[in-house]
Chain A
């Protein structure tokens, strides 16, 4: 069940990411030029979608792998993820929300969620180190073409399989850090 929900979340996050990217590209041809405020908000949504996408992909992979001795904490935390998911909601957002919170805060219910999901480092399981996730997150999602992106210093190259591409050849791999400096 958690695999299905995680997959739904993955699909939703991927869809939102694709919608955001197309909005960003469309705004380039808008009259008056790129709007900084709108681009900032788009990049915030894209960042959240990207992070959620990768974290739910991880949980998909983990729930798929029956035994993972090198990652004992994850199998114990996945029941925590299951209990944390609310009743099925018509809108995907609350599901996204709960998946976002579950990896960060398996132990407490009080802290508010943060857009920066790597905040709560103390409570992260060792397998979900923020550094490791960031490295994965900065790589291209698999639904974009695998054109090699220019890396930021410190980023690691992560091999991405060719996946279904929604936007076509003109859509190059987008490093989110380069969105705002375009101004």
Chain B
């Protein structure tokens, strides 16, 4: 496993452009807006979901010894319509087809399985390859038409003959009607048999084989909705302990729950909360403290949370405060009122770990994304743009000028484009390859190999 650092200083990792997927024109169709990005456990497959309910899976080519860069490119492997818009007639509400999350199941055989979810329904998809087809049927012609039985004079055994590779995606399970509120998270358990789904007020536990039943394991709905003060914003299973999961709230707290303790995990085993800094108290403090994403480290020792302005690393053994805090775009703190007016303050940024938990990454505005090296205590800002899209061109670190004087090559806060936001990023689990989603394009970057 390669040791990754964001670049600069004593740990010289340089990030290079590799590929960009998606339409070039500036006029973005709403259906093409990418809403989730996820590598599978081997990193060979990269799945994206969009607002139009489609899933596109890219596959990494086998390494080519001829090429200088011996990492394979990602090419389209399968595209399918996962969810369609639906209408809830009882509530007169349209259910969006937007894919909120995709999670891969660990691979057990030749086929690949993933869970995809919109606001209300989770689906299990099987993606399998077909490169052979049976030929020589007795009762059917090669084109599929049935023969007149009277014309059959001999019998033969059909044989498999090679054909062009076909990748098929088929829905194997549909897990529906278990969520009153909008699903924000799904997470596969390390037991590979169960998974959880979380909406604003409840977390449900499912068995992958059983679609007509789920167990409610967390319910924070108050008896009187007027008393509602917080909602669930994200949930995830521990990577190794199949009894442990966490869920984050809009109040900036994270609760760790142990399913062995009780059937209903309303009372947490641990509560992670940092006391608010009174100097930073502002009108919009509540909004910016809402956690938009929570991710366990691969080791399972740490977890990372993302709120509007920062990324925090928590040690599971310490509930009182995070062990590390990284400011993503602190210069926005004085702009919160404008960001409230243009709705940007409600943006939900995700975050991710690299393979050995040494670097974390998250997105920002102006198509910037940030990396924080925990070991070397360095951070880096990079930009995903078509201007830097020459193959293997090294990305130049970017800087936002916060003081009065703007240095050359720096960009001022007022010039930032708040319509260009990077909400979804993913890091290859075993290599220094990252996938960064702008509004409707997917950028793939990798570190420079010498």
Contact = CB atoms under 8 A, between A and B. Distances in A.
Q: Do A and B come from one complex?
A: yes
Interface of A: 16, 19, 23, 31-33, 35-38, 40-41, 44-45, 48-49, 52, 90-94, 96-97, 100-101, 111-113, 115, 177-178, 180-181, 183
B93 A40 contact: no
Contact of A45 (B119, B184, B287): B287
A111 B93 contact: no
B341 interface: yes
A50 to B, nearest CB: 12
Contacts of B341: 19
Nearest to B51: A31
Interface size class of B (residues with CB under 8 A): 35 or more
Contacts of A40: 228-231, 250
B340 A19 contact: yes
Interface string B295-315: 000000000000000000000
16 contacts: A16-B283, A16-B337, A32-B98, A36-B181, A36-B182, A44-B286, A45-B287, A48-B283, A49-B283, A93-B284, A96-B282, A97-B281, A97-B283, A112-B277, A115-B285, A181-B226
Contact of B286 (A16, A41, A91, A183): A41
Contacts of B93: 32-33
Given A33-B94, A40-B250, A180-B226, A112 B281 contact: yes
B286 A93 contact: no
Contacts of A181: 224-226
Contacts of A49: 283
Contacts of B229: 40
B281 A113 contact: yes
B278 A113 contact: yes
B260 interface: no
B440 to A, nearest CB: 18
A141 to B, nearest CB: 16
Given A41-B290, A177-B226, A183-B225, A31 B340 contact: no
B96 A36 contact: no
Nearest to B222: A180
Contacts of A38: 346
Given A32-B93, A33-B93, A44 B287 contact: yes
B226 A91 contact: no
